[in-house]
Structure 1
Amino acid sequence: MKRRLATLALILIAAAVLFAMQRTTPRYDELTGAIPVRAGMHETASTRLFDIEVQRVQFARKIAYRYIGKDVVLTTSGLWAIVTASLTARSESMSITRGFWDGPQGLRYEQSDRAVNPPHMTPIRLDPGLSTFGRFLFEIRPDQVGDATLVVWPSGLPPRLDAEAHIALDDLPRAANGALEVTDLVSLNRLEGAQP
């Protein structure tokens, strides 16, 4: 009888250990996924392939730019979020084509594809040692502004076992009363707010 109880106790202990291992072992995607390199605005996030520093974030109800000799004005039912950043390749020439706006409630916004070829937008060509300014353009809901993060990686699929930049968008434009500053119209023809 004691032997059976001891065997049962060992089986229960083994089951508990296996259950704990199952709950605490990282999934395959977590083991081989991207490695986030975190920074705030006006700080440099240095990944293996590139450096990025977010200089400015603007919010607008409308954006305007020139395309093939015509003025284009786009509106949105939410907000346009325009992120201006300084980027530099570290060791080889490359392009940045992907950027995401991660909102505070877990919503992820890809860059808007409604604006066709505005200046200084992705794809952004980078060369080693040469700082380049570029923009990321998003259409977001107004409730996705605070505690947002810009996520950037080079062209292609999400990186595996490689770094991606996660920049906390923590220095947003505010009016004198503390409310978010939203401009009626932002022109994308000029690269304003970029610091040499």
Structure 2
Amino acid sequence: MTGRRLATVALVLAAVPLLWALRWTTPVYAELTGPIPVHGAPGEWVEGRQLGAKVSGVRLAGRLRAEVFGRRIERTTSGVWAVVDLELRATVDSVMLHGARWVGPSGRAYAASRRVEGPPNLATGLTLQPGLARKAILVFELPADEVADGELRLSALPEPRLDSEIRIALGAPPSSRAVTLELSRGG
């Protein structure tokens, strides 16, 4: 009986570290049901389940100007405006871009700015059709230290769960930064 009891105690003591390791290495629910990343680079088409995208460039500025609904607007920032030039298309069905985020080197995510709404080529709000690429822009207002090595994340859903999310590593920022950037139709 004593030998059997010692074997039970030894088994329990051996199981404790194993159970502790399992507890801390098991993914949480948000990770298990999170977005399915589809990685790409600027200049190449990256296809997700619902949409495809190709980034052609990033422009930086301290001030933006645009004509919105027949009125000239100007926006300034204490950080940096990053304007992403891209092409978008739906893959199977008509879809809208609802998820557009810039993830900086710190891991913080920044949603596309709502301070600049109305330019006709703004990607948020465009209805995309299968096979028909549309040129568009996304505008982000970022702290200066979040521009380098940023990653653009795009999806048809605001918070994709068990759906694809396009992730394009943008790399080094442009060497030049405009004082004022004019946003107009087509660019």
- The TM tier, using the shorter chain, reads over 0.9
User: CA 1:35/1:106 → structure 2, altered by over 3 Å: closer, same or farther?
Assistant: same
Matching residue of 2:141: 139
AA of the residue aligned to 1:31? L
CA–CA distance in 2 between the matches of 1:90 and 1:52? 10
Q: Is 1:188 paired with 2:166? A: no
- C-alpha deviation, 1:23, in angstroms: 1.6
AA of the residue aligned to 1:86? E
Matching residue of 2:61: 60
* Alpha-carbon contact 2:149-2:172 (below 8 Å) kept: no
- Secondary structure (helix, strand or coil) at the match of 1:169 reads strand
- Deviation per residue, 1:56-93 (Å, 9 max, x gap): 10000111111232211111111100001111111111
CA–CA distance in 1 between the matches of 2:16 and 2:25? 14
CA–CA distance in 2 between the matches of 1:159 and 1:70? 35
Q: Is 1:101 paired with 2:102? A: yes
Measured on the aligned residues, the alpha-carbon RMSD in Å equals: 1.4
CA–CA distance in 1 between the matches of 2:51 and 2:184? 25
- C-alpha deviation, 1:97, in angstroms: 2.7
Q: 1:67-82 maps to which residues of 2 (within 5 A)?
A: 67-82=68-83
- Deviation per residue, 1:85-133 (Å, 9 max, x gap): 1111111111113211100011211111111312211112110110111
CA–CA distance in 2 between the matches of 1:99 and 1:78? 19
AA of the residue aligned to 1:138? F
* Alpha-carbon contact 1:80-1:140 (below 8 Å) kept: yes
Aligned residues: percent identity?
37
- Secondary structure (helix, strand or coil) at the match of 2:171 reads coil
Matching residue of 1:29: 30
Matching residue of 1:170: 171
AA of the residue aligned to 1:184? V
* Alpha-carbon contact 1:97-1:124 (below 8 Å) kept: no
* Alpha-carbon contact 1:79-1:140 (below 8 Å) kept: yes
Given the two structures, how large is their TM-score scaled by the length of structure 1?
0.89
CA–CA distance in 2 between the matches of 1:116 and 1:89? 22
AA of the residue aligned to 1:186? L
Matching residue of 1:83: 84
**Unmatched 5+ residue regions in structure 1?**
175-180
CA–CA distance in 1 between the matches of 2:34 and 2:14? 33
- Secondary structure (helix, strand or coil) at the match of 2:107 reads coil
* Alpha-carbon contact 1:101-1:108 (below 8 Å) kept: yes
- Deviation per residue, 1:42-67 (Å, 9 max, x gap): 12211011111111100001111112
Number of corresponding residues: 185
- C-alpha deviation, 1:187, in angstroms: 0.9
